[in-house]
Amino acid sequence: MKPPIPIIGSVFTLLAILFFGLNPKGYDFSNHVSWIDDGPGIHFDKYGMAFTRLDRKLLQRISRQEGFSILMILQSGRNDKTGSGHIFTIDSGNDRDQLVIWQWWSHIIAMNDNDYNYRRKVGRVSAEIPFPVQEIYLSLTTDRKGTILYFNGQVVSSNNSLFLNTPVSDQTKLILGNSVYGNNPWQGKISGLALFDRKLEPEKIQTLYNAWVIKRSFADAGKEDPLILYLFNEKSGTSVMDQVGGTAPLRIPSRAIPLRKKFLSGLFNDFELKGNLARDALINLVGFIPLGFFLAGALINLGGKPGKRPVSYTVLFCFAVSLTIEIFQGWLPSRSSQSLDLLLNTLGAFLGAFGFVLYHAGIKTRGSVVE
């Protein structure tokens, strides 16, 4: 192989890897949250989110009562019953402690933990969204006697052995419309939200739902002494006011920046949410083989000897390139930073570099035979 070819090949393959590795895949960093024109509520689209930091004393008040309730008016924007996304999340910095209400295809699921694929069989309650999709008066109650999920005043799911909890820390956040990482967006609208430090009884939930049906107003939830109450009736601006004390206004930032970053996550985390494992693994392995091949060739043609050093230098360089890409991907909600990607990229570079050494040795051998 002529000396310029490995150099040119190295440059082009490196540029291609950087382009595809750092491509945001349609993510434009705008926070796609808008106010509803014909009533209360905000609409979430693409990578939109709204969030607030919850006061530690408020969370401890819930913990002391050993039970809580959530009331929410929502309408999914996924009429085709596909996809998944976080509707409501309380996050304290530990995925295993988070409280999440999320949509998976045509189901709404409530649980603690990040066991989205149900691999660890973490307790949950779930129910199918009525079709055609309309507004749902969702109620979630939990205490030591179990957890109940209601749609429109009626029980749709219960688990007598499940006791949900709200994580407590100085940095606990409430996030609507997305995960704390910004990479599990939900499409739809929310037009009412209340959090209580006790388990509301079925009769009370039915009464509040009936009042909402008649008045088309979520304000009656405020008569039951909630800890937090959002009516979403501001119609404009970058905040949704907490109608109880005003201590936890929801922020609607102009930029959708992840509230927490995840760098080089575990080898097999969340692949069921992110995509096909075999396909992603093959792309990450094969993608770095040409770079390893051409870069090893360039080093050898620039004066190095075939053997361990060109291969080692090539692998170290490709490892640094892959690590840089994975760090940048941690800042892009449309991408995921995975340690498995780093491992496969480096392995691909080694295979490519070793392949060139074998190829070069074969050329030398054929040349010797001809002479």
Rounded Cα gap, residues 189 and 82, in angstroms: 16
Rounded Cα gap, residues 205 and 149, in angstroms: 11
Rounded Cα gap, residues 6 and 360, in angstroms: 12
Which residue type occupies 293? F
Which residue type occupies 231? L
pLDDT band for 271, please (50, 70, 90 cuts). Answer: very low
Cβ pair 139, 210 in contact under 8 A: no
Using alpha carbons only, give the angle 293, 299, 300 rounded to the nearest 5 degrees. Answer: 90
Cβ pair 87, 149 in contact under 8 A: no
pLDDT tens digits, residue range 321-357?
999 999 988 888 778 888 999 999 999 999 999 999 9
Over residues 219-225, the mean pLDDT reads 96
Rounded Cα gap, residues 346 and 317, in angstroms: 9
Cβ pair 333, 47 in contact under 8 A: yes
> In terms of Cα–Cα distance, which of 70, 65, 69, 120 is closest to 95?
120
pLDDT band for 364, please (50, 70, 90 cuts). Answer: low
Q: For residues 337 and 14, which has the higher predicted lDDT (pLDDT)?
A: 14
pLDDT at 367 over 70: no
Over residues 241-265, the mean pLDDT reads 89
Cβ pair 92, 98 in contact under 8 A: yes
Structure confidence at residue 168 (pLDDT): 94
Q: Which two tokens stand for residue 363?
A: 């050329």
Q: Which two tokens stand for residue 254?
A: 């102009």
pLDDT band for 305, please (50, 70, 90 cuts). Answer: low
Task: Note the CATH architecture for domain 33-251.
Answer: Sandwich (2.60)
The overall average pLDDT reported for the chain is 90
Boundaries of every domain in the chain: 4-25+264-370, 33-251
Rounded Cα gap, residues 142 and 112, in angstroms: 12
Over residues 79-95, the mean pLDDT reads 85
pLDDT tens digits, residue range 41-51?
999 998 899 99
pLDDT at 300 over 50: yes
Over residues 165-169, the mean pLDDT reads 94
Structure confidence at residue 306 (pLDDT): 62
pLDDT at 239 over 80: yes
Which residues, listed in sequence order, are joined to residue 67 by a DSSP beta bridge?
A: 143
How buried is 38 (Cβ within 10 angstroms: 0-12 exposed, 13-18 middle, 19+ buried)?
exposed
Residue 89, CA atoms < 13 Å, CB-side half-sphere: 33
Cβ pair 91, 73 in contact under 8 A: no
Structure confidence at residue 275 (pLDDT): 47
